[in-house]
Amino acid sequence: MAAAARHSTLDFLLGATADCNAVLKALQPIFQEQGMTETVHNWEDHGYLVTYIKKNGSFANLRIHPHGLVLVDLQSYSDDMKGREEVDQLLNKVEERMKELIHGNIKRVKRLPAILRGGVIDRYWPTADGRLVEYDIDEVVYDEDSPFQNIKILHSKQFGNILILSGDVNLAESDLAYTQAIMGSGKEDYTGKEVLILGGGDGGILYEIVKLKPKMVTMVEIDQMVIDGCKKHMRKTCGDVLDNLKGDCYQVLIEDCIPVLKRYAKEGRMFDYVINDLTAVPISTSPEEDSTWEFLRLILDLSMKVLKQDGKYFTQGNCINLTDALAMYEEQLSRLYCPVEFSKETVCVPSYMELWVFYTIWKKQTDI
């Protein structure tokens, strides 16, 4: 199996314009000592781009901008200790030479942790607002494609096993805060209540609610393979509740929630609580939703039809930084078939590495 590519960077922000030719002459010997072949590209007003290529396939790009930015990118294919030490030594020499040349007129030197590309274990997952996070993942526990999505469970040293659905970080064993928030943050009394969970294939919500002595919990999850993976590899989250699809006070239906909601609405079945824990990207097989927002509004409308007049609907929102998306979601609430009110709470979910907004929605009480 080919080695992964290790991408290292070193940036210099100078306190003045750069003498591009002087910088190039100062740094050239460092790369030439490595036996690297040099190619120089020169633009009159845009500085230099210099590439250095080694016989083993490693290469470096040196970009010298006249306005005072010098960038070094180095890609190597040896991820053993010796290879990493060689890269560090080369970058150390570049840094020392630049400090000698510029004589204290460097505003900032920045060396980021190396990015490993094409490795067996993928450690890089974006936050909801598009920032790149490197997780401390050390094992691929489960990786399967269901008819609906890719399902990964990866082990993190900090967060335990993490469920990732089609590239979206869903829940880690560390994330009880998520489960508690989407259940009402301990403010609700579930004793003797009828509860409907939409999604929730990791079993976390179901596991916590059955402890609270509800009358009956119905969980509707479309993907059996999510349940299969989680009941084996996410037991700190779901306990033994997914070992059987029926228990004394719960049942799990392996179905698309939209036809189930329509059936319950037609039958007049009502719930004290509806908890929407569907994945961020809709995977329903129903053709009615032309967009994510239409899908979300459809779920909301159908949920309100099966929610008791004094019932509550809980759901996750999004990252607190995505203010436009949150505002758009709240705008959908004004377009439902019945008037509703809502409150929201911001919670730190450990494995998300960002603050997350949760919603409580209820039917507006009308004066008789």
Crossing angle of helices 257-267 and 292-306, rounded to 10°? 30
Element housing 144 (H / E):
strand 137-145
DSSP 4: P
Task: State the amino acid at position 65 in one-letter form.
Answer: H
As annotated, the active-site residues are 277
Are 237 and 208 in contact by the 8 Å Cβ rule? The answer is no
pLDDT score recorded for residue 79: 65
pLDDT score recorded for residue 99: 94
pLDDT score recorded for residue 280: 54
Return d(Cα 277, Cα 224) in angstroms, integer.
15
Taken in order of first residue, the domains within the chain and their CATH numbers are 5-117 (3.30.160.110), 173-363 (3.40.50.150)
User: For 163-183, what is each residue's pLDDT tens digit?
Assistant: 999 999 999 999 999 999 999
Return d(Cα 252, Cα 216) in angstroms, integer.
11
pLDDT score recorded for residue 279: 62
Return d(Cα 47, Cα 41) in angstroms, integer.
8
Q: Output the six-digit token pair for 70.
A: 């010098």
Contacts of 33 (CB under 8 A, 6+ apart): none
Q: Mapping DSSP to helix (H, G, I), strand (E, B) and coil, where does residue 254 land?
A: coil
Task: State the amino acid at position 11 in one-letter form.
Answer: D
57, HSE (Cβ side, Cα atoms, 13 Å): 10
Return d(Cα 219, Cα 209) in angstroms, integer.
11
Would the pTM count as exceeding 0.75? yes
pLDDT score recorded for residue 236: 97
48, HSE (Cβ side, Cα atoms, 13 Å): 22
Are 242 and 225 in contact by the 8 Å Cβ rule? The answer is no
pLDDT score recorded for residue 160: 98
User: For 80-93, what is each residue's pLDDT tens digit?
Assistant: 778 888 899 999 99
Below-70 pLDDT ranges, the chain: 1-3, 78-79, 279-290, 367-368
pLDDT score recorded for residue 367: 62
pLDDT score recorded for residue 93: 96
